[in-house]
Chain A
Amino acid sequence: MRQRISRRAALGLGLMLPTLARAGGPPKQVGWDDLIPPGVPYSEIIGEGEMDVLNDLWKPVFDANGTRFNPVLEGAFIRMPGYIIPMEFSGRGVTEFIMVPYVGACIHVPPPPPNQLVYVTLEAPFASNGLWDAVWVTGTMRTETTDTHLAVIGYAMKATKIEVYRW
């Protein structure tokens, strides 16, 4: 848990998002905390779940807070950092991926809740260096899109630009 928060703090920039840039202007920089609607504590998002004592496993059940999305982000032109979990490829690189706040977490930790994932579709393939490189993704955010073949429930982003994240 602690490790998770520190990682999130490293990536999340904790902006308050007073006004969000619409398409046209420069992108608004957004952190992972901003994907959670204001007033919803993160600890509640992780949900209750049950402990499987025999296998020493915590099986989380996300409550409704995990699928609440920040309405301010709908249609917003943003730039945010994250890691790539590749979904579709071409020979020149990844074309669709799920952006996540952390990768390679310990198996005891449940996966991120739905409102901590962003489904990113790219215009041009991005030649990724592997799973462990963070990127900045710039594009327009949508919430609760229904894509024809994806039926995405959650954040989806049409990315126009991807850059390697420099620590």
Chain B
Amino acid sequence: MILLRLALASLGARALTASLTVLAIALSVALFLGVEKVRTGAKESFAGTISGTDLIVGARSGAVQLLLYSVFRIGNATNNITWQSYQEIAARPEVDWIVPISLGDSHRQFRVMGTTAAFFERYKYRNRQALQIAEGAVMDDLFDAVIGADVAKALGYAVGTQIVVSHGIRSFSHHDELPFRVSGILAKTGTPVDRTVIVSLEAIEAIHVDWRSGARIPGQITPEAEIRAMDLTPAAITAALVGVESRMQIFGLQRMINTYGQEPLLAILPGVALTELWGTIGYAEQALLAVSGMVVVTALVGMMATIFASLAARRREIAILRAMGAGPRAVLSLLMLEAVLMALAGAVLGLGLLYATLAVARPMVDATFGLWLPLDAPSAREWAMLAGVVAAGAIVSVLPALRAYRMSLSDGMMVRS
């Protein structure tokens, strides 16, 4: 108890250097834990992009590629699935539900996806959360569009805004003869849906009625009324999301699709493809962790340096303690206790700093990077890291403490000329 009082008083006497050391540790701890938060947040956002879907079906390519273009809207489809194959898969007894997806058009910098109303019901993200309509309603008319939260925000759209869809992913070739009306805006999800314009599958067909071989037939403009009267069943779709009756049938259905005779198709398990994809980009995660680990080491070494530096100023103090009968163990524990107190204060302050920053910066990070950082209690792993910092503080202080003890008596008592 007396040691604790002494340690506190001694730290109080050197308030400035001590608080600077604590601040350095706090900053490094905040950075280290912050990296951990960003890492789990990124993984959470990534892993939660699709949930509750059992299989994704597309043209035969690679599992990761199919996942990228169908779910993340990165890259392009290699080929389409014919409507006939889609119908055959949909009719399989194992299939509980199936949602077709048609890609390849865009609006400004955002991709347009043709699908059915079932998408809003079946597409789930992060622990099976369903999409929520923030404003307006799901498509009702042929030329209705539902837009993601980021689309609405970036382009300043509201329900009722007229938009023109363009041919291709980036384009000067517009389907301006047939504008769409924004019928609904989705609530923010933190998934690629936020950056998507959703229209009906028929609408995708409708805007391509006058198009042949990648260009509009010059001079030919079919009146809207005529298009509405047409049979707009698509000839092909880009991909399909599938839910099975029982997950035990997934492998059977996957094999049936992968060995489908009429057309080269590919069915992937989203979970497996996500794991493979994370495996390839997961190195960045390790690098982040390593860098932040080095920051903590730097702060601890800095603390060791300050303790060493303070020893010179404290020769008298320690010598007096020794002269008054403090044993070597007492001097050693006093210095280690001071270090542990500083490390502890640094850890606590760092934790506070992190949560304060998170609370303030969270909406901004979400808006800028689409990364939703969880504001939850530290995980067991993070507590272990904090404990590790404090323990490391004790360990690095052993060296200066030993030195102080060895030098203390003779050195401190001598009056130097």
Contact = CB atoms under 8 A, between A and B. Distances in A.
Interface of A: 52, 54-55, 57, 59, 62, 85-92, 94, 97-98, 107, 110-112, 114, 117, 119, 128, 130-131, 149-154
B304 to A, nearest CB: 33
Given A86-B271, A114-B248, 12 more contacts: A87-B269, A87-B271, A89-B274, A90-B127, A91-B45, A91-B48, A91-B374, A98-B248, A130-B275, A149-B128, A152-B247, A153-B246
B251 interface: yes
A90 B47 contact: yes
A117 B279 CA distance: 25
A130 B252 CA distance: 23
Of A111, A117, A154, the most chain B CB neighbours within 10 A belong to A111
Interface residues of B, number: 35
B379 interface: yes
9 cross-chain pairs, A with B, having the tightest CB-CB distances, nearest first: A91-B44, A111-B251, A86-B271, A89-B47, A154-B248, A91-B43, A91-B40, A153-B246, A151-B246
A90 B251 CA distance: 23
B395 to A, nearest CB: 27
13 contacts: A52-B259, A57-B259, A59-B256, A62-B252, A89-B51, A91-B43, A91-B374, A98-B250, A111-B255, A117-B251, A119-B248, A152-B246, A154-B246
A87 B247 contact: yes
A150 B247 contact: yes
Contact of A130 (B261, B269, B271, B279): B279
Contacts of B276: 131
Interface string B258-289: 11010000000101101110010000000000
Given A87-B271, A88-B51, A88-B271, A119 B247 contact: yes
Contact of A59 (B259, B271, B274): B259
A128 B248 contact: no
Contacts of A57: 259
A59 B253 CA distance: 11
Contact of B379 (A87, A92, A112, A153): A92
Q: From DSSP, what is the main secondary structure of chain B's interface residues?
A: helix
A89 B278 CA distance: 12
Nearest to B282: A130
Nearest to B49: A89
Q: From DSSP, what is the main secondary structure of chain A's interface residues?
A: loop
Contacts of B189: none
Nearest to B96: A151
A110 B256 CA distance: 10
A85 B271 contact: yes
Contacts of A92: 40, 43-44, 379
A152 B54 CA distance: 13
Contacts of B255: 110-111
Of B255, B258, B276, the most chain A CB neighbours within 10 A belong to B255
B187 to A, nearest CB: 20
A131 B272 contact: yes
Contact of A55 (B40, B45, B127, B259): B259
Contacts of B40: 91-92
Contacts of B379: 92
B259 A86 contact: no
B248 A153 contact: yes
